[in-house]
Structure 1
Amino acid sequence: MTDHRDHEAHGHGHGHGHFGGSRGWFARVAHAVAAHSPLSAHSHDSADKTDAALETSSRGMRVLAVSFAVLMVTAAVQAVIVLASGSVALLGDTLHNVADALTAVPLAIAFSLGRRAATRRFTYGYGRAEDLAGIVIVLLIAASAALAGYEAVTRLLNPQDLRAVAWVAGAAVVGFAGNEWVARYRIKVGREIGSAALVADGLHARTDGFTSLAVLLGAGGAALGFPLADPIVGLLITFAICFVLRDAAREIYHRLMDAVDPALVDQAERILGGVAGVHRVGSVRLRWIGHALHAEVEILVDHDMSVVDAHAVAVEAEHRLIHELPRLRAATVHTDPHGPAGADHHASLSTHRSR
């Protein structure tokens, strides 16, 4: 029985488990391995993977910086109109936009932590910091829903007239446009780099866009002589925010519980089954760590195959997985002997193993 983890322990690792540090550090290690290993091409592939991982974090940081700037400009424009109109609804929307901009702070911290190298305590690195940031974002969405509902009920009980209705409507349009642009940007990049937290943050921006629409419709109702339009629409928007909250909470919950799309497991099994020398695919386990996938798989090879040959099959299986499975950064491949008939190679572990 050959465990591909031994391959990494003896100095022939390809660096798939190391997703922090600098590119220069990794390049020096990759060059050192290439100098004496027939697997040098695969080592360079690993360097490309690590560079790609660093690039995804850099993209995440760029998204946060751009969206923070857009939302702060949007809030500043709205704040000027608040002073001129005295609109409490627009004030609430402005505060929502400021709060949404500030969600970039925990995400920026998470992306920065995720780039740190693994340690002997945090052996998988710090990628799960994104999931913690996702929890903070879900709580902020919940707080937005509670605040929107509170404001709507308060307005129903104490209707107020609006001044400078046209300006309030214009500010609401600015608020919606700014939030919707940021939402689309965050969600698009978040899905491309596999960041559930960034997707959740995009959904949060969308909820604040809905709140801006409520201000617009409320202003329209006030212009038509129906002051209760604002709080009624506000209640409807509160329900919409709750649906967004449900979707964001579900996505973060799945990440915290190590859930993956079953189609990815099927794809991994097909990739492994197509590797020469693999008789059968055993267990396949995938998990997200930050915005990167990690895999632990078992394959069965001929029982009379030499350790060197079995190791070569494991290396090829790892190579194929990392190249063909989207956003997979590291894989541990464990080889088991296939045959002879009736042999139980895990008899001593039968009471300890679970599948």
Structure 2
Amino acid sequence: MTGQHDSSASAGPEHGHGHGHGHGHGHELEGKRGIKGLVSKVGHALAPHSHDSADKTDAALEGSSRGLRVLAVSFGVLLVTAAVQAVIVVMSGSVALLGDTLHNVADALTAVPLAIAFSLGRRAATRRFTYGYGRAEDLAGIAIVLIIAASAGLAGYEAITRLFDPRDMRAVGWVAAAAVVGFLGNEWVARYRIGVGRQIGSAALVADGLHARTDGFTSLAVLIGAGGAALGFPLADPIVGLLITVAICFVLRDAAREIYHRLMDAVDPALVDEAEAILGGVEGVERVGSVRLRWIGHALHAEVDILVSHHLSLVDAHAVAVAAEHRLIHDLPKLRAATVHTDPHGPAGADHHAPLTSHR
């Protein structure tokens, strides 16, 4: 027995899976004796795994479907919001409201790259893209961050321009009403996108929700500017616009950090702690080695090392790996696939990876 074994689980038709077990089983590492026990163990080791096309893939696909629904609904809400504002732009001649209207249209259009990303993420893995197309969400997230940055730049430019060239505003009450409509529409979309994005684990959808929130702030700037114009203080609009630009920059920072963490394979350390605790509770695991987690789209993948007794047979070590994998897939939220590597724990002083020392 070499003491090393990989047990890979991929819940999806795009990945092969080299072992299996049903849901209503138990692994007895010791105590099964005779031909019946040996046949049972070997049969278990060779059986196809029940997770190949089960819950986790269904959950990931449902996450993509929910993401597409969110984008479709929010796209419609923002277009209606922009249409209402456009009518009032014609009535009032407000340049600030025109900018806010165009901003809302741009925000609605950010749904396009995200929709493409969610659609791509549903495609099966290939021999070139062996992990599938989930990373398309991160690329869409980069596009959204760039759009937020452009929004901040445009808002700042318009505010500075209006600071040096104040303009009169007609139909101030209607402009204020349009600003309220813009804020409410964007805030509703922001809450919807951010809420579902966090539920399905999509950093790009969360970033898009944050972008919608920046547009809501811009609408509030129009409202306060309209109030200032009504009170005979036209400079209120550009001054508040500058403050809103600063607020947008803070939102930009949060969105950029979210996408950066995904691109760098960062995860919440609490997830690592949870995975270690799950593995440590598996019968036969004497120690937990390294735990590596990464997001691919809105699905979590794991690669873990566990140490088992060096007295175990290959079949028994495999059974421990299967049990560990099974527990991880069921107990770690949003985990779609796990690769479990077993190492022998002992004998004292043995180096089971000596041939690999020069390669590490």
TM-score of the pair, normalised by structure 2: 0.89
In the other structure, the counterpart of 2:111 is 104
In the TM superposition, residue 351 of structure 1 has moved relative to its aligned partner by 1.9
In the other structure, the counterpart of 1:160 is 167
Q: Is 2:56 aligned against 1:61?
A: no
Alignment of 1:1-355 (within 5 A): 1-5=3-7, 15-16=10-11, 18=13, 38=44, 43=50, 47-353=54-360
Residue type at the aligned position of 1:184: R
In the TM superposition, residue 232 of structure 1 has moved relative to its aligned partner by 0.4
Residue type at the aligned position of 1:252: I
Residue type at the aligned position of 1:171: A
Aligned counterparts of 1:299 and 1:191: Cα–Cα separation in 2: 30
Deviations 1:153-172 (A, max 9, x none): 01011000000000000000
Aligned counterparts of 1:107 and 1:166: Cα–Cα separation in 2: 36
Aligned counterparts of 2:53 and 2:118: Cα–Cα separation in 1: 21
Residue type at the aligned position of 1:4: D
Are residues 285 and 18 of structure 1, via their aligned partners in 2, closer, same or farther at CA, if it must alter by over 3 Å? farther
In the TM superposition, residue 176 of structure 1 has moved relative to its aligned partner by 0.2
Structure 1: runs of 5+ lacking an equivalent = 9-13, 21-29
The 8 Å contact of residues 42 and 319 in structure 1, kept in 2 or not, is answered as no
Q: How many residues align?
A: 335
The 8 Å contact of residues 56 and 334 in structure 2, kept in 1 or not, is answered as no
Aligned counterparts of 1:245 and 1:48: Cα–Cα separation in 2: 35
In the TM superposition, residue 48 of structure 1 has moved relative to its aligned partner by 1.4
In the TM superposition, residue 67 of structure 1 has moved relative to its aligned partner by 0.2
Aligned counterparts of 1:189 and 1:306: Cα–Cα separation in 2: 46
Aligned counterparts of 1:200 and 1:248: Cα–Cα separation in 2: 5
Aligned counterparts of 1:62 and 1:286: Cα–Cα separation in 2: 28
Residue type at the aligned position of 2:229: A
In the TM superposition, residue 134 of structure 1 has moved relative to its aligned partner by 0.2
Are residues 284 and 17 of structure 1, via their aligned partners in 2, closer, same or farther at CA, if it must alter by over 3 Å? farther
Partner secondary structure for residue 116 of structure 1: coil
RCO comparison, higher one (Cα < 8 Å, 6+): 2
Residue type at the aligned position of 1:344: D
Aligned counterparts of 1:218 and 1:140: Cα–Cα separation in 2: 24
Aligned counterparts of 2:258 and 2:123: Cα–Cα separation in 1: 25
- Considering fraction of residues, name the structure with more helix: 1
Are residues 334 and 272 of structure 1, via their aligned partners in 2, closer, same or farther at CA, if it must alter by over 3 Å? same
User: Taking every aligned residue pair, what percent have the same amino acid on both sides?
Assistant: 83
In the TM superposition, residue 352 of structure 1 has moved relative to its aligned partner by 1.5
Are residues 3 and 41 of structure 1, via their aligned partners in 2, closer, same or farther at CA, if it must alter by over 3 Å? closer
In the TM superposition, residue 44 of structure 1 has moved relative to its aligned partner by 5.2
In the other structure, the counterpart of 2:30 is none
The 8 Å contact of residues 12 and 54 in structure 2, kept in 1 or not, is answered as no
Partner secondary structure for residue 359 of structure 2: coil
In the TM superposition, residue 350 of structure 1 has moved relative to its aligned partner by 1.1
Are residues 288 and 44 of structure 1, via their aligned partners in 2, closer, same or farther at CA, if it must alter by over 3 Å? closer
Aligned counterparts of 2:248 and 2:294: Cα–Cα separation in 1: 29
Aligned counterparts of 1:56 and 1:238: Cα–Cα separation in 2: 33
Are residues 41 and 216 of structure 1, via their aligned partners in 2, closer, same or farther at CA, if it must alter by over 3 Å? farther
Partner secondary structure for residue 267 of structure 2: coil
Partner secondary structure for residue 287 of structure 1: strand
User: Could you list the runs of 4 or more consecutive aligned residues of structure 1 that deviate by over 4 angstroms after TM superposition?
Assistant: 17-20, 36-42
Structure 2: runs of 5+ lacking an equivalent = 16-20, 23-41
The 8 Å contact of residues 276 and 291 in structure 2, kept in 1 or not, is answered as yes
The 8 Å contact of residues 308 and 345 in structure 2, kept in 1 or not, is answered as yes
